[in-house]
Amino acid sequence: MPRETWDFVVIGAGVFGAWTAHELRRGGHGVLLLDAFGPAHSRASSGGESRVIRMGYGADELYTRWSQQSLPEWKSLAARSGRPLFHDVGMLWLVGEGGGYVDETQRTLARAGVAHERLSADELARKFPPISIGGIEWALWEPDSGVLMARQGVQALVAEDVRAGLAYRTAAVLAIESATTESTPKQRASIRSTAGPSTTITDYVRHGKLSHIVTSAGETISAGAFVFACGAWLPKVFPSLLGGRIFPTRQEIFFFAPPPGDTSFAAMPAWFHHPALVYGIPDLEHRGFKISIDRHGPAIDPDREDRVPSAAALAEARAYLARRFPKLKDAPLVESRVCQYENTSNGDFIIDRHPEMDNVFIVGGGSGHGFKHGPAVGAYAARFATGGAADEPRFAIANKATRQQRGVY
């Protein structure tokens, strides 16, 4: 096959890669987007049914500002696509004992000019009758937040960009090598292909730049720069650099059927109980009432893991439902999903240049909360990759530890 040359190749068509490709394409660059399995595929962190978009992040105003930046972009995409990609159901923080994080959230929302309301337990019960207030001291209400339709949103964005000139292909990277073999042993590193765990490939880097990639379709693709936004596969792509800095974990999600004729669970907001670390999403599009434990699960291999929920996780979800939503105590399970987080040591993203390849950029570390920020991540990454400053040191690879100590929720 003939050799192709692009301004940018983006590897990974999840939410970070799709929005980065969108911003690069919108900036007038020639962009090729690749994914081994397809945009927002079933094993991707972006491949789920729905994701919360909220403004609250404790005292962490950076992510509040990025949520504020991202929500209009999601709404605009929904309007352009004619699809209900954003549900303006609001966001509810349930506060039990130890609610200091939500106190900080309220102060941050006030500083950032985000609409919010503090509800007493009695006010909460009147506003949202399905919720049992036992053990709940108060609640924080974000009326303008809500829920994004994850898989549909990413696929709508990629389809729109393809119509506007973005090139997309479903293909896995099989080889990364320079046009010559004049690289030194120090410049060569064994990496794992996004095609699967059995493919070991070697990259050859000359003068600190990646020359080209070869795909499973036999295409040789050159580019001015490459953006790797491979989600939970990043530790396989760059094991020596990221193997100890990104930790993919298994996360289990359950959907329960509301009682027949009961529409109250469709009228609920998105919600998060802190510090219990349980969250949920209303019965949107008649898929069921969604609940998940936000606590980090065991390590997961995104290529090999069977996506079968565990009995223990289901029992924990049912026990919480019985306490907090009594009408769902015996609700049938109608759907379940095993996905993954790709956690950094503390939950901050990685948006940085590879330390040994000047034209290789890494965008990842969504850490379970990243989906909502896709538009802001894409804008930042595209600006950085086109010569702008990396002005947020929190996103640097060098600032990621090799021991997990979660600081972002």
For residue range 55-92, list pLDDT tens digits in order: 999 999 999 999 999 999 999 999 999 999 999 999 99
pLDDT one-digit tens code per residue, 238-262: 999 999 999 999 999 999 999 999 9
Asked if 104 and 158 sit in the same domain, the reply is: no
The number of distinct structural domains making up the chain is 2
- pLDDT surpassing 90 at residue 179: no
For 31-41, what is each residue's pLDDT tens digit? 999 999 999 99
Q: Which pLDDT does position 69 carry in this prediction?
A: 98
pLDDT tens-digit map of 311-325: 999 999 999 999 999
Q: What is the mean pLDDT of residues 370-394?
A: 96
**Residues 328 and 262 placed together within one structural domain of the fold:** yes
pLDDT on residue 217: 82
For 203, left (φ over 0), alpha (ψ -120 to 50), or beta?
Answer: beta
Indicate whether 262 and 312 sit together in one domain.
Answer: yes
* Residue 239 sits in the same domain as residue 261: no
Over the chain, what is the mean pLDDT? 91
**380, part of any domain:** yes
Write out the residue range of the structural domain in which residue 177 sits. Answer: 3-46+152-246+346-399
**pLDDT classification of 144: cutoffs 50, 70, 90:** very high
Q: What is the maximum span of the chain, computed from C-alpha positions, in angstroms?
A: 72
Cα gap 150→160, rounded to integer Å? 16
Locate 344 and state its tokens.
Answer: 């950094």
Given 300, 315, 337, the domain boundary residue is: 337
Provide the pairing of β-strand 333-343 with 289-293: unpaired
**192 vs 223, higher pLDDT:** 223
Percentage of the chain surpassing pLDDT 90? 84
Q: Is 98 a member of any domain?
A: yes
Same-domain pairing of 211 and 169: yes
Q: Does residue 308 lie within any of the structural domains?
A: yes
pLDDT score, position 189: 35
Tell me the mean pLDDT in the region 181-200: 34
Claim to verify: residue 127 and residue 202 sit in the same structural domain: no
Contact 8, 385 (CB under 8 A): yes
